Amino acid sequence: MTFRFGSALLLIGLITLVVFVLGLSVQQADVRALLGGAALCALGLVLRRRAARSAASPGRFRMLRRAFGRPVPPPDDEA
């Protein structure tokens, strides 16, 4: 849920930054659009990073993880 909310904030921030650039091209730029877009992008990135860190990695590709020296998560007991 947090990852999706962060993605939504990131998308809204990018749209706001595009609106700022379009306003800048016609000499009617608003600094609030720049600051708001940058703040939303930063908040979205922070939320996405925090959610991705707490998510458990799947059990797929264990051989590749071992080959590259990355830690392999313990198998899940779903029986």
Q: Mean pLDDT score of the chain, rounded to an integer?
A: 84
Give pLDDT tens digits for 31-44: 999 999 999 999 99
**Domain limits, the chain:** 2-55
Give this prediction's pTM: 0.67
Q: Hey, what are 13's tokens?
A: 């921030």
pLDDT at 79 (0 to 100):
44
**Alpha helices, DSSP H, located in the chain:** 2-25, 31-54, 62-68
Q: Name the 3-class secondary structure at 45.
A: helix
Task: Note the pLDDT tens digit of each residue in 16-75.
Answer: 999 999 999 999 989 999 999 999 999 999 999 988 776 656 666 777 777 887 766 666
